Amino acid sequence: MHQIGIPIELHLPEVRRKQSLGAAIDLCLEAAGLEPKVVQADLKLDKAQFSRWSSGTEGVTWPKLTALMDRCGNDAPLLWMLHARGYDLASLRKQQTETERELELAREQIKQLQAERVIELRLMRDLRVAA
């Protein structure tokens, strides 16, 4: 099992400037502040194979690419592939996970309860003043 990196925000123009998937893989590591040898060791990758990915002389399988992105905490290679296929990166968004949806709902409920509490406190204050 590999360690999942802390999610890192990527600047889309930087992804768009990359000329190859290999360059996007290098950006993935760079954005995470990781050296290739660290990721190679973590993901049990051969140094030569990783070098061939970066140079574009060998393709990378989806499971290995997702492991790399998970370890680095960003999706630079995936975003580069989407851009290379003509997708507008600015309009893409990740779907919410179930946990994120529940958190958003809980925040909305808290906000509603806080608003109701303010109204209740005003009413109580107004009743005390009127008495």
Residue 2 pLDDT more than 50?
no
- To the nearest 10°, report the CA torsion of 30, 15, 64, 31: 20
Structure tokens at 86: 């003509």
pLDDT tens-digit series, residues 78-127? 999 999 999 998 888 777 778 888 898 999 999 999 999 999 999 999 98
Whole-model pTM: value is: 0.67
Residue 45: band (very low, low, confident or very high) from pLDDT cuts 50, 70, 90: confident
Residue 130: band (very low, low, confident or very high) from pLDDT cuts 50, 70, 90: confident
Rounded CA-CA distance 43/131 in Å is 72
Rounded CA-CA distance 53/62 in Å is 12
Q: How far is CA 66 from the centre of its chain?
A: 12
pLDDT tens-digit series, residues 78-91? 999 999 999 998 88
Residue 5: band (very low, low, confident or very high) from pLDDT cuts 50, 70, 90: low
- Provide the 8-state DSSP code for 45: -
Residue range 12-91 forms a domain whose CATH class is mainly alpha
